[in-house]
Amino acid sequence: MKLANLWILFPVLLCASCDPFAWILGGTAVVGSTAVRNQEGVSGSISDTELQAKINNALFVSDKDIFDRVELAIKHGIVVVIGYMQDDAQREKAMQIIRNIEGCSEAYDETKVQDMPDVSNFTTDTLITSRIKSALSFDGNVHSMNYDITTVRGVVYVCGTAQTPYERDVVLNHARTTSGVEKVVSYIKINKKENKSE
């Protein structure tokens, strides 16, 4: 399923690199809604999308087994790598590939060396992610488009940029109090520009 999605989206991703308005799909202006709430505006969102496409392509070309084993949480050039590797050598290879991709400002390894779990938790993880994203979007204290939420086996990975420490705490509180969450791992940076102007 992951491979099929990549090939379906690949032409769209190529178009987006040339024309931001190519992301107007199915009558929904994706870029428009992103620009309103995203700290880095349209260009920030597109660069993360392009970065994800580059990483997926590099992993697929280099080692399909690694490609199948990882999930990525990406926001503002920060990449969190989540998954289950065969051994430490495979884990190191994945991180080396990702860190060498142009546009990756930081990469964090949250992979584990163990057999891949079955997919029975997929529905629960998807529901947890949806609940957190919904809570963030309705909270006036949060710029929800500045965050990427990924849930794997009840562990929630939050990646992004908060305007203030208070906003970061609000985001993490939403994640921690969502039903089904076992643990929250934060890769939230505080926007230094915003804090200097206060």
Say what the pLDDT of residue 59 is: 96
This prediction has a pTM of 0.69
Of 3.50.50.60, 3.40.50.300, 3.30.1340.30, 3.30.70.2080, the CATH number of 2-113 is: 3.30.1340.30
Say what the pLDDT of residue 32 is: 31
72-113: pLDDT as tens digits? 999 999 999 999 999 999 999 999 999 999 999 999 999 999
The CATH 3.30.1340.30 domain(s) of the chain lie at 2-113
Fold entry, domain 119-197: Histidine-containing Protein; Chain: A; (3.30.1340)
Say what the pLDDT of residue 196 is: 52
pLDDT range class, residue 30, cuts 50, 70, 90: very low
* DSSP secondary structure string for all residues of 85-150: ESSHHHHHHHHHHHHTSTT--EEEEEEEESPPPPGGGHHHHHHHHHHHHHHHHT-TT--GGGEEEE
pLDDT range class, residue 116, cuts 50, 70, 90: confident
